[in-house]
Chain A
Amino acid sequence: SQTIHQWPATLVQPVGSPLSLECTVEGTSNPNLYWYRQAAGRGLQLLFYSVGIGQISSEVPQNLSASRPQDRQFILSSKKLLLSDSGFYLCAWSAESDTQYFGPGTRLTVL
């Protein structure tokens, strides 16, 4: 069966510091991969999605970037964090069925 992992689970970072969040999927090949942000009390905002290695689509211009160095690995990065980057970051994967399956999330607090 397929599983999706995210780490770290929680992160507290100062403003201006770099960021790297990692997501990996097991048990499937060539998944579509997604990064979402969920601000407090808000819905899900799609940040990036990827349909293959090195293929990244950005949905919202912002301080973040994404990379897919391996088939089942998706990384969310920033060179300099802003206060507004605080939130709950969710990674998800899907196959052709379009059903998305979510990871446990990373709580990021920027101080």
Chain B
Amino acid sequence: AQSVTQPDIHITVSEGASLELRCNYSYGATPYLFWYVQSPGQGLQLLLKYFSGDTLVQGIKGFEAEFKRSQSSFNLRKPSVHWSDAAEYFCAVGATGGFKTIFGAGTRLFVKA
């Protein structure tokens, strides 16, 4: 069965420090992979997606993610975190022609001054 695991429930980083949020998936076919961000009381905003091609994907707000098939991972990174990045981040996996996307439980990011 398909699944997505975000091992960290919450992470705290200092403003200006680098960030890596982990995501592991289990999927039988070639997956579509997504990262979304949710600010409190808001909907989810798409940060980036991977369908095929270059395994390093650039997204909005300075985020990037790298697909590693051998590790079944799709970790999200940012070189320098800003206070406005404090939010909840969701990794998700979908399938070609499928109608359902499986979401991880989310990682809450706290940014300290």
How large, as a class, is the contact surface on chain B?
20 to 34
Total A-B residue pairs with C-beta atoms closer than 8 Å? 53
Given A99-B34, A102-B44, A51 contacting B90 (CB threshold 8 A): no
CA distance A94 to B45 in the complex (A): 13
Q: Which of B12-20, B57-65, B68-76, B91-99 contacts A (4 or more CB under 8 A)?
A: B91-99
Instruction: Give the complex CA separation of A108 and B51 in angstroms.
Output: 35
Residues of chain B at the chain A interface (Cβ within 8 Å): 32, 34, 36, 41-46, 49, 51, 90, 92, 94-101, 103-106
Extra contacts, 10 of them, besides A43-B106, A92-B44 (Cβ < 8 A), are A43-B105, A49-B100, A98-B97, A98-B98, A98-B99, A99-B46, A100-B92, A104-B42, A105-B41, A105-B42
